[in-house]
Amino acid sequence: MLYLKNPFRFIKNIIVIPLVSLLIVPLIITDILVEIYHRICFPLCGIPYVQRKKYIKIIDRAKLKYLNILQKIYCMYCGYGNGALSYWKQIAGETEHYWCGIQHKEDPNFIPTEHQKEFAKYGDEEEFKDKYYKK
């Protein structure tokens, strides 16, 4: 946390805080839309629910006595924001697995997500059919 030792952090924070804070609106709207999708589509497709509480933690760091009120608020904000993104990533991964469980073509400039390692290899028709058609 070198930024806490920066003597000019207050000035930088005055500029950054309003911009960071604006992101809460699209974050909440997107969270509501993703949750509606998750609760309606997953049961229809037979995909198991992703447990929200495993990804989002908001309150724990706000209980730390050595943080000031602004730090506590932004710790809660970051806990929600980063947790929501992880939660959405898991939902998106389960969706991708259901609809297209095929790895992307190898590319040194592309970093595949962890969940894609279980997918059928790119261009391997037999593996794809074995994994998704024969049960």
Q: What separation in angstroms does the CA of 23 have from each of 30, 78, 128?
A: 11, 11, 40
Q: What pTM value is reported for the model?
A: 0.84
Q: Is 74 part of any domain?
A: yes
pLDDT at res. 75: 93
d(CA 23, CA 65): 27
CA 17 to chain CA centroid, nearest Å: 22
Residues 22, 56, single domain; the answer is yes
Residues 106, 81, single domain; the answer is no
- Domain tally, the chain: 2
Kindly report, residue by residue over 47-72, the tens digit of the pLDDT: 999 999 999 999 999 999 999 998 89
Q: Is 87 part of any domain?
A: yes
Cβ count near 38 (within 10 Å): 20
Cβ count near 106 (within 10 Å): 10
Residues 61, 109, single domain; the answer is no
Residues 61, 20, single domain; the answer is yes
Q: Is 11 part of any domain?
A: no
Q: Is 40 part of any domain?
A: yes
Residues 84, 120, single domain; the answer is no
pLDDT at res. 1: 54
Residue 42 sits in which domain range? 16-97
The two structure tokens encoding residue 34 = 């993703």
Tell me the pLDDT band of 3, cut-offs 50, 70 and 90: low
Q: Is 31 part of any domain?
A: yes
Q: Is 130 part of any domain?
A: yes
Is residue 97 within 8 A of residue 115, CB to CB? The reply is yes
| Kind plus residue range of the DSSP H or E element containing 64 | none
Residues 113, 125, single domain; the answer is yes
For the cut 90, the answer to whether the pLDDT of residue 77 exceeds it is yes
Tell me the pLDDT band of 135, cut-offs 50, 70 and 90: low
Residues 25, 89, single domain; the answer is yes
Tell me the one-letter amino acid at 118: E
For the cut 60, the answer to whether the pLDDT of residue 2 exceeds it is no
Mean pLDDT of 77-88: 97
Q: Is 1 part of any domain?
A: no
